[in-house]
Amino acid sequence: MRDVIVVGAGPGGYHAAIRAAQLGQSVLAVEDDAVGGVCLNVGCIPTKALLHAAGELHRAAQAADFGLAFARPEMDLDKLGRWRDGIKNKLTGGVAGLLKSNGVEVRRGRAHLAGGTAVSVNGEALEARSIILAAGSEPVALPGFAFDGDRVIDSTDALNLERGIPERLLVLGGGAVGLEFASIYNRFGAHVTLVEAMDQILPGADGEVVAALARSLRSQGIDIRTGTRAVDMDRDGDALTVRLRTHSGVEERLQADRVLVAVGRRPRSDDLGLERAGVATDKRGFIRVDDHMRTGAAGIYAVGDCARPPLLAHKAMKEGLVAAANAAGRDAVFDYQVAGVVYTEPEWAAVGLTEAQARERGINVRTGVFPLAASGRAMTLGAAEGMVKLVGDADNDLLLGAHIVGLGASDLVNEAALALEMAATLTDVAATVHAHPTLAEGIMEAAEHFHRRAIHIRN
C-alpha cells in the first residue's frame, strides 16, 4: 500500500509526485510514455528550441538594417534536430533524476482505475490512500483531415523539420500551437497560410493587443485568414487542395504541400477507467475538480490538461503541488493568477482580465497603454513592435489585467502576475522604479498612462 499513486509523469504529475514525497508520502508514479510528458518531449521545450533557431535566422537577416550583413545561412536540419533532441534529453533525464533522488518509484505502463483508490498497471493491482490523475492531453483531430504523419500532421509531427521544409504549409488553428509553428516554418522558408475559424487569432484574448500581433505576423509574410473554416480536402498524389469557407459563405480552394491541424487538444481521460471509481467528466472529457483539485470520488485528485483548461504546463505544475499537499493531509487551494504566453516573435503574453471581460463584470474600466515604439531599449534591440496594455478599475485603482505584445513578453508578464497576486494598484506599479533602459519600463509607463500622466507618450 502506497500513500500516493500519481498517474502520469508530465509537468503536473512529476510536480505532484516530488511534492508528495517531500511531505513524507510513499509515492509511485506511473507513466506510459516518457518522463516529462508532452511538454518536455514533444511540446513546450522542443518547440521553443525550434523557435529560437528560427529567430536566429530572422535576426541575421534583420542585422543588415543596422550595418551587419551576413552571408546566406546554411541550414543543416539534421544537426538542428540533434540539438533539439539533446535539450529534451537533458531535461527529461534531469526530471528522472529528481524523481529518484526524492524517493519516487517510477513504473512504466498505462494505469487504469480499478475502483476506490486502486489502480491496475500492466495487469497488476496496486492500492494507495490517494490517487492523483495527471494523464495529460492529445491533439484534436478535425473531420476530413485525418492525421497521416506525412501530409496531414499534428504538433508532434511538425517538430520533425528533418523531413524537409514544405514549400506551402497550411495551418488550421490560430491558437498558441498554430501560431508558433506558423512562425517556425515561415522563418525556415515555407509559404505559410494560417486559418482560424473565429474572428481573431487567439480567440478570447484582448482584441487590441492581438490585432498588433496579427499585423506583425502578416508583415513577416504569414497569410492569416480569420473568420474562415477548412471544409474538406482533396488529395492528388502529394498535392493537397483544401476548400476554405468564410463566415459570409465565400469559398476558396487552397493548395498545400502539408497541412498542420492545430485546432486544440483533448484530455486523455477516455481509457482511465474513471467510471469504475466514480470520477465524473464534463461533456468535453475533462475531469471535474474543485479548487482543492479533488474529484467527486474520495481520495482521487486530478491535475493539468486532463482536469480543466487552460492547458498550460505551469498551471499543471501548480495544480500538482496543490493536489499533493491535500493528499498529504494539508489544506491547499488553487487560487493563482495564470499567465498565458505565445512564443512567436514578437511574443504575446497576458494575465488577468481583458478589457472586455472587466466591462462585462460591470467594472468602471480604464486602460493604460505604452507602445514599444517609444521604448529606448526596444529600439536598441531592433524590436520596437508591440505594446503593453494594463487594465484597471478606475474607481479603486486596482490592477485587473496585463496584455503584452513584444520582445520578452514571456518574461515581462511575470511582473504583472506578481502585482495581481499581491492585489497591487496601478499607483503601486507606476511608483516602482524600473531600471533604465529596460523593456520592463513599458509596464511602468503603461501604469503612468493609466493615470494620464505618462512622460514619454501623449496622454
Q: Known catalytic residues?
A: 436
Exposure pattern of 235-244 as b/e (b: 16+ CB <10 Å)? eeeeebebeb
Residue labelled with grid coordinates 531592433: 382
Strand-pairing partners, residue 139, are: 265
Contact 258, 151 (CB under 8 A): yes
Distance from C-alpha of 46 to C-alpha of 403, rounded to nearest angstrom? 25
The cell numbers describing 286, all together, are 475533462
What is the Cα gyration radius of the chain?
23
Could you write out the DSSP letters of every residue in 103-129? Answer: T-EEEES-EEEEETTEEEETTEEEEEE
Residue labelled with grid coordinates 511602468: 444
DSSP alpha helix (H) spans, 63-195: 77-101, 155-158, 176-187
Q: For 295, phi and psi rounded to 5 degrees?
A: -85, -175
DSSP alpha helix (H) spans, 160-279: 176-187, 207-219, 274-277
H or E stretch at 358? helix 355-360
Q: Taking the CA atoms of 289, 290, 292 and 294 in sequence, report the sign of the dihedral they define.
A: negative
